[in-house]
Every structure is written in C-alpha cells, then in structure tokens.
Structure 1
Amino acid sequence: MSSSRPAPAHLADLVSRNATERPGHDAVRDLSGAAPLTLSWAALDAAVSAEAARLRAAGVRPGDRVAIGLPDGAAYCVAVFGALRADAIAVPFGTGSVTRELEIVFEQAAPVVVVAAAGDRVAAGCAQGCGARLLPPPDPAAPAPDAPATGGPADPERVALIVFTSGTTGRPRGVQLTHRALLANRAQAAELRPAPVNGVDRVLLALPLYHVYGFAAGLLQVCWMGATVVLPGPFDPERLLATVVEERVSVIAAVPSLFRSLLDLRDAPAEGPDRLRSAMGGVRLCTSGGAPLPSSWLADFRGATGLELHEGYGLSEGGPVITTNDLGRPAKPGSVGRPLPGIELRLVDAAGRPLSEPEPEPEPDELELEVGSEPDDDTGLIALRGPNLFSGYWPDGSGGPDADGWFTTADVGYLDADGDLFLVDRSSDLVIVNGFNVYPREIEQVVAELDAVAEVAVVGVPDDRTGEAVKAVVVAVPGAGLTVEQVDEHCAARLARFKRPTVVAFADELPRTPTGKIARRTLARM
C-alpha cells in the first residue's frame, strides 16, 4: 500500500481498495480442495459483498457477533470479510473445538449467526444451545448483489474481532480488537525494511486463520499490500515443499514446528542434500512466531536453506505483532527483536514501576541489607503502549490499557545492550503448543473431574515437533485403579487436541516448594 494514500478506517475497505486498484491480481490461492481455487481481488470483493448481504438477510445488524468456524480456505476469507462488511463482529473458532469449550465461547459472545461447515455437529449443537442461526459456508464464487449494502461512516473504534484466549484462570475470555488496532498493526509492520509483505509477494500461510497470528499478521498483512495468499490445505511436509515451488512462494509465515518438519525432509534417502535449498530458492523471507524458536533450529534451517528464520513476539492483545528481529540482517539467536515502529515497550516490576526508574531510597536501617544486584535485576514484566493495542476484554472492556495507554502483559523478559528483547517466560505457567496458548489450570480442572483423581498438576515439557507438549502428573485415589487410557479418553472428549496431555504420569504426591506451591520444574522432570 502506497504511503501516499490515506489509511483505511475499516478492514473490509482493504478488499474493496485492492479490487479497484488491481482487480485481476490473484488474492487467494486455495489448495485445500480437490482442485485449486483462485480468487482475484475483484472476485473476492464480490463474494464478500454477497456474504454481507446474506448475513444481513439472516438478521445480522451492526455490532452483532458472527461466529465463524471453517477450514482454512477461500470460504473462510469470504466469511470473515463478509461479517466485517456487514459491520458485525467476527468471532473465529477452530473446527476442532469440543462442546465444552465452544459452549463457554458462545455463552459469552452470544452470536446471532454461526457460520460452520456442513456436518460440524459440535458447532450446530452449540449454535442451537445459544439460539443462534446456523448458516453453511459462503460461496466464494458468488457474484456481487445487485444492490450493494450501504452503511454509516466507518468507525475505526468499532470492535472488529473478538479472539477468545484462555485466561490465567483457565476460562476463555474475549480480546476485543478494533478496526483501528488491527489496521495500526498492519501499518506498523509495513514500515519495516525490508517489508514483511510487498505487492508482488505470494505468501504461504501454513497456519490456522482462526488464530490471530494467521489472520491478522498473515491474511490482513497480505490484504494491506494487495499481495497473494496461498492456503495449502491439510499439512503434509512433502506437499508443502512442492507447493513452495509450484506456487512460486516468496514468503513463508509459520510456527517453528513447521520449519522443523521441513528440516526433517533433508534426510530423505532418495533426495539430494541440497533439496531444501533448491526448493526454497524463490523464497526471500521466512518469519516464525507463535512459539519460542530453539536456537538450534535457526542454525539448522540456515545451513539447509541459506535463509534466516526471523522470530518475533506477539500476543492477541497487541494485534498481534509486537517485536521482530531485523529482517535485513541475520537473526539473533534467542532474541525476538525490537518493537515495531510506533510501539513502545518497557519492562516493569510487579508494582508496574518501570525498571529504568530508580528504586525509592531505602530507610536508613535498611541500608545494611544491600548486598548488590542479582543477575535477574533487569528482568521484568513486558509493558506495551501503541495504537495497536486491544480495547479490553469482552463484554465490558475491562483489563485493557491504563489511563496512560500502557498494558502490562504476563510475559517476562529482558533487554540486551542492543535493545533486543529476550523472553524469559511467556507467563508463569503458560504452555505453548504449536503457537497455541495452553493454561495448566484449565487442563487441571478437566482432569480433576475424574472421581479417581485426588490431585493433578500440569506443566509444559519440551517437544521436538510442537515446541512444548502438555504433561499431567496425577495423584490417584488409593485403590481407584486409574489408568492413563482413562485420563486420555476423558480429555479427548473435553479438550481441543493441542490442549490434551501427551504425557500422563502418576505420583504418590505432587512436589511442592517450602511455601506449599507446586514445584513445576520438579514436576517436569518426574
């Protein structure tokens, strides 16, 4: 998007603007079906208008919530932008959601319409339970309606998206992202040099669009520049690598585990050692986010492809991209880089006081207790300020930035001498599986529903494929005869796949600190 043009105030304007300026250019390449589907920007714009008209005919009014649970593909893109063009609030959810989780989301969001795939019984049942109307996926080939929908002037402070994430209590809460926040984050990212997406890029998004990283940092950034998004369908490393070549992919945005899977293809006996390097020859940029990137993976990927893996840091409340490694130089191992232009970042203590501020002078009788600084003195909670921040949690906007615009996260980090951010912990107990947040308390509550469980604690453990995996340590009721299979079966019916414990261990008692808290580091080693 040219810097000479005024920034749009509404997300759906991105589609209509591209349809006007480059109508025949590919907008979406959907490879998820039996045959590839291509939508130009003009075709996407027409289908989006048709979907907005369909939603309004179904009773959707400005400010209403439209829940969308579809596989990644052209229909998903049409559904989300159609809801936005109808001035509704889009509420994305995963197609693999289980009833318990989706009921909580629908109870809070109170959607008027649920757009879901045919045969999705969980979505259909939850829609019926909350009184929402169920609609099938939109038609990506639908023509524009004869009478285009008209609305009032665009309000950038209108909520565009509610992203439900599990809070520290384990109960999902909705992050309210306005048109202003999401567009500001796209503008911030576009100021990077080299730009993460330019107008001639073909961007492979091998990550879920219902996740804020895939939708906002991926799809919306493509829309910001009028580029082309390539949606590869179900994940298969061999197929993905072929797609990179056949679709002339120039940018790949993914979670670390995807790049790890590509690295595994190096060892295929029938292929030469330069297979990856050759296949990735047309790729100019690879960005990794959603989960920590092990330094060894970065080095291995560079050696196998000649490309850097650029890691960043983000969160739903930030729209979501906060920092990134310098895209024009080799990535710094272990670092998530510096804030995007227009984002302020500082480290604060538990009381919210910036670490850069001098501590209050101690009382005279306390001076003798001064023993020098500790290595962790420069580690603090990450606090943020910028136009990309969310507007609090649904429905009342609580928990948002303070009166001065600062939002203190639960993430802990430190800054090196260059001003680059290093994450120490994404929160005290958070487990990140393939870029998805898993809060132990939620899993513990589910496992504890079993009568045979006396006590349970959940922790994250390293996993070569997903970054981290969920481990549950269970203290069973004596004589109950609880088995791993029973725990697995119980969790499978109540938790999304990425939240389910992949390791279940039994113990006579849980390890605790002297103050009675669960010793989670010890737990991980059990």
Structure 2
Amino acid sequence: MNIAHVLDGHAADSVALISRNRTTTYGELRDQINHLRGGLASIGVGRGDRVALLCGNGRHFVITYFATVGLGAVAVPLNPLSPAPELETEIAAVGAKVVVIEKLSAGTWANVDRSQVPTVATVISSEHGSGPEGTQSVDELLTADPVPIAEVASDDDAALIFTSGTAGLPRAARLTHGNNHANIEQSKATDVLQPSDLIYGVLPLFHIFGLNIVMTTGLAVGATVMLVQRFDPHTAAESISGRQVTVVPGAPAMWTAFTHFDELPADTFTSVRVALSGASKLPVATFHAMRDRFGVEVAEGYGLTETSATVTTSLGAPIRPGSVGRAFDGVEIRLINTDGHDVLVGDIGEIWVRGDNVFPGYYGDDPATAVVLSPDGWLQTGDMAVADDDGFLYLVDRAKDLVIVSGFNVYPAEVEGVLTMHPDVHEAGVVGVPHPHTGEAVKAFVVVRHDADVDEETLIEFCLGHVARYKCPSKVMFVDELPRNTTGKLVRRRLDDALSVS
C-alpha cells in the first residue's frame, strides 16, 4: 500500500487543482508527481528519509507531498511563515534530509542557522534561482525519469505533523500510511464529497484539517481542490460565489468573519452544498447567523492531529447546533471520569478514542507517547465532552491548557518559554481568552525583573521573532507575581486574579 495511490484511477482530463488561476488535471498532476518522485530519488531521497515542506497552499506543496510519500519517505509539512528559530527546532527534531522552500518562505530560510540543522543535505526551491547557493529547483527535478510508487507497510510513517494538542510542547505526531488510509475511507464512507465537487482550500496544508480532509480526501474522491494562500472574507466570498464552490471547510473564525461582514449579499453561498467547521468549537451564535442570513447550515466535526484528522462528524444526520456529531464508523469513543470509569449519559468525561486512524505515537518521544496512548490503543485526548442518548458529542472544555487560535494549537508553556528568554522578564503565565474573530487569543501575564524597562509592544515584537504570529500574545499584562499552588505550580485559571496585586 501507499497513500500516494489515492490519485490513481481518476479521469486524466478532470481538473484536480486550481491554484493561482492555473488548473492542473489529474493526468498532469500524476505526471508531475511521477517525475518529481524520480527527481527526489536522484538526489538520494529514499524510504524513511524526512522531507520538510515549507510551502503554502499551492501546486508545489501537493506534488512534493505525494512525490515524497510515494517514495516511502516521510513528509514533514511546516508553517512556511514560522520564524527561523522555530523552524530550526522542528527540522532538527525530525532530522530532515531535504527542505523544500517557496518564495513565501525563502526570506525566513535565509535566516536559518544551518549549523542548527546539520541533517539537511539538500534545499529545493519552487522558484528557479531562488534560495542560497547550491539550491536545486523543482523544475530541474521534474526533468528526471519517473520512478514507480514504492509499496510500503501500513505501519510505515507517511507524515510527521507537529502538534501540541495532547502532550505539551510541540511534538511531531507520526501518521502512518494505514492511519491516513483509514481516515480517508472513514470520510469517504459518508458519501458527502463527490467527484463533481469544487472544494475551497484555504485551510493551511501544514495543518491536519487542510492536509487530510481538504487535500488528500478531496483528491481521493476525484474532486477539484481550489487552493488559496490567505483568507479574507471579501475575497473568499467572491471566489466562492464566482466559481460556484460546492464544499467549504473552515475553522470557526472563518465562519464568524463571514457573519461579521455586513456587505456580503444573502446569496453569497447559494452554490455551497457542504459547509464544514472544525479545529475548535463553533459558536452556536455563528451557526444560527450563517443559517439565518445565508441559508447555510455549518456542520461541525471533531478531531486531532493524533487521529489523522477526524473522529466525529455532523454530516449524514440532522445537524444539532453545538454538537460535533457522532463517531465515524470504525472509530470508538469513550468518555472517562477522573476515576478512570465510563461516565453516564449526560455526564462530562474526557474523550478517549480508538481506531485505525489513531497514530502510533510521537516521533522519537516514547515518554510523551505513553502519557496519551494506552497499551490497548486508547488515545486520551485531554478534551472534555458530554454525549446525548443518540451518541452526539458536545464539547465542554479542555482538560489541559491548550489555546486554539483560528484553529491552530498554542500551548502556553511554549509561549511562556519564549517570553522568559527576554532579559527583562522574570516569569510569565499564558492563557487563552475569547476573541470575536479568532475564537481565542493569547494573553500573557508577565513579572519583570527589578528596574526593568520594557513595555507590551516590545515583548510582542520579541515573540514574533521566535514563534509564529498566531502564537504571539495579543495582550500583555504586567503583574507583581503569578498565582501558584503549594507545590509552586502555576495556576493558570487564577491568572486574572494576579491583576489585583499589580
């Protein structure tokens, strides 16, 4: 098996991708991937090698991803807009042999300290002549003779996706060919996506939602995926209406943005047959606003990187506002209380998941894997929920302190670590706070060193140099001390109380 086979069998003249107003048919896409697979093999990429992708939503991401996994190598999609220190950490953590950059990420890559990523042997650029000396271009590699898809075992890794969803600081979740195949088949079994669909692909492809639900599942059914680099409600609405898009997946922040954009006509989404929301809870008010104003019912789902994307879906049944739906066929769910027992219907419990889509663990981190994955295969998600008599799940809260900004996971410890790197910061605490556009935003509470002279803007700018923008605090509060328990552990739920001592 190999997940690259999802592209097989579709009509050669059917359109697979629309990217930057350029169409690529399935025949053209398969041909480009076949040649690039040969090009990667010619520079020594083989089974198990890690290839980091610093690419935005576009054709180059798609062909590089499938060429990589088709060799039995492992794709590592990274945020192309991450600052150099973050990229250095992630690339070093997985020991990437090859890095693929685009114009979008070329500037950041130029700031990467190559001594921090010693395993990188080759840099490939989508733009000829772009990148440091010695960089090869995708076009050059596309001239290589094609090589066949390598057959692999179901438990061979296909991708490493960085996440902090269930185990603290960012770690690379291993997603196998079997994991990906299982989730694609679970999604296809709902019969929601059709070959005639045009899917709006603005969700970043380095995010599991964009990677496996939008791109891989969309291409697996033979649909057309329209890849979009950035979201703004006006341009998105024009594209959806003008091109008659039929499927729109997005994070709650996207749907909320549409409802807050007063200029959108009521018929903006008349072509949309399926509207999907995931990555965090969709506000019930947003559901009603989309339905009442545009006639669109947004179906919620629930999943994690560690489950290869999805666990539950609202599709295939009448949508219940506030619910993320029921489990896919082949996926088991339990709600567990603090004593380790299944809760009664209507009681709150932690979501545990088991199925072929559940990952085997974090790359090179057995202790972190053991924290979240039981010996008999149950993933302990850290998310709290209630189930009704019909098996519909309602998310309540997170057992951990994860913050979700526009669908992206932000773990407070990572941001706190960056803040305390500043010479004027003694300690820091970070929480998520509600935000009308992004769902949540990062708020930091900082204790500065004696006689320090630092302001909010300076600390935010400092963070921008070390982590992605969505992880940076939007608000910094200066306090005299942080709340801690008797063992000295930071009590984040009491951080707002710290303001009273400032």
**1:217 to partner: Cα distance:** 1.2
**SS class of match (1:68):** strand
Aligned to 1:369: none
Distance 1:393 1:465 in 2: 32
Amino acid at match of 1:54: G
Pair 126,163 (structure 1): closer, same or farther in 2 beyond 3 Å: farther
**SS class of match (2:66):** helix
Aligned to 1:360: none
Amino acid at match of 1:180: G
**SS class of match (1:378):** coil
**1:144 to partner: Cα distance:** 7.3
Question: Among 392, 402, 409, which residue is 1:437 paired with?
Answer: 409
Question: Among 156, 170, 173, which residue is 1:172 paired with?
Answer: 170
Amino acid at match of 2:475: V
Distance 1:214 1:313 in 2: 14
Amino acid at match of 1:254: G
**SS class of match (1:235):** coil
Q: What 5-or-longer segments of structure 1 have no aligned partner? A: 1-8, 357-375
Q: Does residue 1:506 correspond to 2:478, yes or no?
A: yes
Distance 1:396 1:461 in 2: 30
Pair 141,55 (structure 1): closer, same or farther in 2 beyond 3 Å: closer
Distance 2:470 2:144 in 1: 44
Question: After the TM superposition, which of the residue ranges 141-150 and 302-311 deviates more from structure 2?
Answer: 141-150
Pair 299,152 (structure 1): closer, same or farther in 2 beyond 3 Å: closer
Distance 2:330 2:268 in 1: 36
Pair 152,464 (structure 1): closer, same or farther in 2 beyond 3 Å: closer
Distance 1:120 1:378 in 2: 50
Question: Among 96, 108, 125, which residue is 1:122 paired with?
Answer: 108
Q: Does residue 1:341 correspond to 2:329, yes or no?
A: yes
Aligned to 2:348: 379
Distance 1:30 1:101 in 2: 28
Question: Among 41, 47, 63, which residue is 1:56 paired with?
Answer: 41
Q: Does residue 1:12 correspond to 2:9, yes or no?
A: no
Q: 1:4-403, aligned counterparts within 5 Å?
A: 9-18=1-10, 22-31=11-20, 36-118=21-103, 120-124=106-110, 125=112, 129-131=116-118, 132=120, 133-137=122-126, 147-150=145-148, 152-166=150-164, 170-192=168-190, 195-265=191-261, 267-268=262-263, 275=265, 277-329=266-318, 331-350=319-338, 352-355=340-343, 378-395=347-364, 398-399=369-370, 401-403=373-375
Pair 435,87 (structure 1): closer, same or farther in 2 beyond 3 Å: same
Q: Deviations over 1:451-510 (max 9, x none)?
A: 322321101000001000000011222332221122112111111100000011112222
Q: Is the 8 A contact 2:16 2:23 kept in 1?
A: yes
Amino acid at match of 1:214: G
Q: Deviations over 1:306-348 (max 9, x none)?
A: 110111111001011011124442x322221111111000012
Distance 1:255 1:172 in 2: 20
Distance 1:519 1:324 in 2: 34
Question: After the TM superposition, which of the residue ranges 165-174 and 229-238 deviates more from structure 2?
Answer: 165-174
Distance 2:425 2:151 in 1: 56
**SS class of match (2:351):** strand
**SS class of match (1:79):** helix
Identity %: 34
Distance 2:46 2:496 in 1: 49
Pair 24,491 (structure 1): closer, same or farther in 2 beyond 3 Å: same
**SS class of match (1:108):** helix
Q: Deviations over 1:138-168 (max 9, x none)?
A: 8888997674313653322210000011366
Distance 1:224 1:389 in 2: 20
Distance 1:292 1:136 in 2: 37
Pair 168,183 (structure 1): closer, same or farther in 2 beyond 3 Å: closer
**1:519 to partner: Cα distance:** 4.2
**1:300 to partner: Cα distance:** 0.6
Q: Is the 8 A contact 2:71 2:150 kept in 1?
A: no
Question: After the TM superposition, which of the residue ranges 414-423 and 438-447 deviates more from structure 2?
Answer: 414-423
**SS class of match (1:216):** helix
Amino acid at match of 2:40: L
Q: Deviations over 1:67-123 (max 9, x none)?
A: 001111111111111111122100000111112211221111111110011462433
Amino acid at match of 1:387: D
Q: Deviations over 1:249-268 (max 9, x none)?
A: 00000111111222222x23
Structure with bigger gyration radius: 1
Pair 480,381 (structure 1): closer, same or farther in 2 beyond 3 Å: same
**1:418 to partner: Cα distance:** 2.6
Amino acid at match of 1:412: M
**1:240 to partner: Cα distance:** 0.9
Q: Does residue 1:475 correspond to 2:447, yes or no?
A: yes
CA RMSD of aligned residues (A): 2.4
Q: TM-score, normalised by structure 2?
A: 0.90
Distance 2:38 2:481 in 1: 59
Q: TM-score, normalised by structure 1?
A: 0.86
Distance 1:448 1:347 in 2: 37
Q: What 5-or-longer segments of structure 2 have no aligned partner? A: 128-136
Amino acid at match of 2:15: D
